Structure 1
Amino acid sequence: MYVRDICSNAPLLAARNELDFFHQDRCLVSSRVTAFESYCGMTDSSSQLLRTAFWLRDRFCALAGVRPINGFAQERPKASPVAGDVVDFFKVDYITNDELFLVANDRHLCVLVALMLSPALGSKRELTITASVKTHNLFGKVYMVPVAYAHGLIVRRMLRQLTSRA
């Protein structure tokens, strides 16, 4: 179902040159955390700027009949989800302690966010987060213009939030 990235082995929706958006970032985390715990640590405290961005996204997308996503939930699940569960605005496609693949798919675009943990090196391990997007139509392409600009900044801020707690 997924193509593996040659450089990082991360799952992608298609080969890099066929994607409409690709972003990858990394950080070091505790060797004791799971991929899902890393996701929760990244998303459990949204800044006012990010909440505003989600609010604007929902208002803009409502004009095209796209359902609101309302940002990240304030309360995190108590237990790890299983494949098929919904977490925030993503469907859990695959989950182990070391990998979490989240998908959002509608008539405008398909998004895959993959969190992957490397084997432990002492007390740390590397978390790689990879986002790949395929758009389906003009609205999807227009939607991705501001997202492409802001995504890296947002993810790096979320990773700093995660590592500052370690």
Structure 2
Amino acid sequence: MKIVKATLPNHSVLKTTQTKYDYTDSFKGQLHDADKKITSTDIGKAFFSTGPQWISGLFTLRNKIVALFGLKTSENKKGQEELKHFTCEVGDQVGLFKVFNKTENEVVLGEDDKHLDFKVSLYIAQINSETKCLTISTTVIFHNWFGKLYFLPVRFFHKLIVPTMLKGIINQLEKTNTNTIPQLNTINN
């Protein structure tokens, strides 16, 4: 499976908000969905259930460090419990990630904090009768110098994490190809 760098999809909620972002990136990959069963809800759920253990470890480290500075963190047990009841509707939250917007083709997750706001778009588009394109886009708005400083190391890991997660999401969705995504590792430790 090939994951490639992309641009924010033209019909993404994040593209149409007229907001100026300090950072954006996008990655995309194709998935097989001949039965046309994969929905934006499935993709939102898979986002939380397909991350490899090393990503969970990075989030655990992140939470320990940023707690010292009074930034928002998530707890593993709380995140696991939230995932059980996650319906991927606007206002739902798992760990740090709250659902800000949801359409037939997109789920926008993220968080607003005192140092920066970030949003993650999970955008799916039909390519042909059996294939869809899934694009994960990230946008960041810095509120102060600490947000810029915080994002320096995050940016490096982000470019490793997102393509890995995208591959995991696509693999999981193609395997199950149902509306029920099994619970695996969560990224919100």
Deviation of 1:109 (Å) = 0.4
Q: CA RMSD in A?
A: 2.5
Gaps of 5+ in 2: 1-6, 175-189
Question: Structure 1 residues 7, 164: CA separation in 2 closer, same or farther (over 3 Å shift)?
Answer: closer
Is 1:23 paired with 2:25?
yes
> Which deviations, in whole Å up to 9, do the C-alpha atoms of 1:64-89 show, x marking residues without a partner?
11132246944634563321222332
The match for 2:46 is 41
Whole-Å Cα distance in 2 between the matches of residues 79 and 46 of structure 1? 16
Matched residue type, 2:44: Y
| TM-score normalized by the length of structure 2 | 0.73
Does 1 or 2 have the higher relative contact order (CA < 8 Å, sep 6+)?
Answer: 2
**Aligned sequence identity (%):** 28
Is 1:137 paired with 2:137?
no
Gaps of 5+ in 1: 1-5
The match for 2:112 is 105
Matched residue type, 2:87: S
- 1:126 pairs with 133, 144, 161, which one? 133
Whole-Å Cα distance in 1 between the matches of residues 121 and 112 of structure 2? 15
| TM-score normalized by the length of structure 1 | 0.82
Question: Structure 1 residues 7, 129: CA separation in 2 closer, same or farther (over 3 Å shift)?
Answer: closer
